[in-house]
Structure 1
């Protein structure tokens, strides 16, 4: 609202209100600048960034600010910090593990429901199988065979679950799609961590899993994407239904 005209000079004063302003931290500004240059490919993998002292001189920022910016980049997987005489910050390429870590943080941070994890897996994994049938190599098939051999062994529950994760991840690797690989790595870990495997995985489940995996592997080996998709859809949907049935029974028992 405008104030009355000043009797002294005839001017009108207007009451101006400003919203609180968020000023970025200097370390965030420096991390953003370095991140963009890394992602643009200005620094090849393995390149050493200038030492902290030189970065302080170049940027005019404090050593603590420079150090915090480098820690941000390290957490994001863009640099690897080495200590010692030959130490420093070295550029590293983001890989599937970085994708998996980010997805894992989202799953845990948002407390994503187990049902949602299975829905996502049913949407993604048949596509992995289709691409695997089209692009698999001899090394990919060897990895699938090793996982199948481990699943068929009469090992501990932990060994079976790890072999199961290894097989599903191997299918994603065989798709030669880095995003799908990262997503499946995170999804597989989350699903098996969230499932009451002790009360669910019995000898019948192990046998059914082993048979399904072999059938899907053969479709991938034969280069038959349609069969790979059908068999993977049937496998992951059946597994999801069985797991959720166990989860529902457990919830009812607890509430009772």
Structure 2
């Protein structure tokens, strides 16, 4: 039987207390010396436990007179970071990324049509303006495309969707940055699709937003995969 390290045990205890709300966001955890007295563990063990929490994004360590371990609650960026690491670490195929986006984005569009705010619409229009610049480089086009798709997810006001879409959009950007499919016609169709979906979201027409997003992400995926060799996805046998 493997015995867990003392630092892991302490980190797990503090993590649960943070997630239960016993230590709220912005609060500072008890000082190291106090934790040493409370737990009867060494200072080295306490510091290691705090480092574990810092890596997990649950505390932010500050030094100096006002230093300490300040509690922070994981947000959408934590989801994006974890998903990005998985995508890169397991070298997820581009086809799989596009399939995932086709499954998620229509739901984002539906929620965005229901819950969007004026600030959300402003972000969407800003991205639309950027992607409409005909003289823009491929890099500018791809970044504006990412900004728009993430803005739709943000407008859904669902932090999990926002985190997933941030990671997926970045990965798809990286995978398509050197592709030849981004021609004048693809740009024109993308601009048209984005504006149509934005208008449906503005009008709070959820069903129209879903239909248009479905067509858009599917057409974009087909355009990408026509010039990409990674079209096959390994599927385990029955």
Which category describes the TM-score, using the shorter chain as reference length? over 0.9
Q: Pick which of 103-112 and 40-49 moved more.
A: 103-112
State the shift of 1:250 in Å.
Answer: 11
Residue 180 (structure 1) aligns with: 161
Q: Distance in 1 between matches of 2:37 and 2:106?
A: 53
Any conservation in 1 of the 2:179–2:227 contact (CA below 8 Å)? no
Residue 13 (structure 2) aligns with: 33
Q: Distance in 2 between matches of 1:37 and 1:63?
A: 20
| 3-state SS in 2 of match to 1:90 | strand
State the shift of 1:145 in Å.
Answer: 0.4
| 3-state SS in 2 of match to 1:232 | helix
Matched, 1:77 2:66: no
Residue 235 (structure 2) aligns with: none
Q: Deviations over 1:191-222 (max 9, x none)?
A: 11122544232222222211110010001001
Instruction: List runs of 5+ in structure 1 lacking aligned partners.
Output: 1-20, 252-256
Matched, 1:225 2:206: yes
Q: Deviations over 1:220-245 (max 9, x none)?
A: 00111111001000000011111111
Residue 244 (structure 1) aligns with: 225
Any conservation in 2 of the 1:196–1:247 contact (CA below 8 Å)? no
Q: Distance in 1 between matches of 2:142 and 2:56?
A: 29
Task: Find the partner of 1:92 among 51, 72, 80.
Answer: 72
Q: Map 1:152-171 to 2 at 5 A.
A: 152-153=132-133, 154-171=135-152
State the shift of 1:249 in Å.
Answer: 8.9
Q: Distance in 2 between matches of 1:108 and 1:23?
A: 32
Q: Cα RMSD between the aligned structures?
A: 1.6
Matched, 1:205 2:186: yes
Any conservation in 2 of the 1:132–1:174 contact (CA below 8 Å)? yes
Q: Distance in 1 between matches of 2:178 and 2:153?
A: 23
Residue 121 (structure 2) aligns with: 141
Instruction: List runs of 5+ in structure 2 lacking aligned partners.
Output: 233-238
Q: Distance in 2 between matches of 1:220 and 1:130?
A: 8
From the superposition, tell whether residues 99 and 54 of structure 1 become closer, same or farther in structure 2 (CA, over 3 Å): same
Larger Rg over CA atoms: 1
Report the number of matched residues.
231
| 3-state SS in 2 of match to 1:248 | coil
State the shift of 1:177 in Å.
Answer: 0.7
Task: Find the partner of 2:29 among 33, 49, 54.
Answer: 49
Q: Deviations over 1:151-194 (max 9, x none)?
A: 11232222221111110011001111111111111111111112
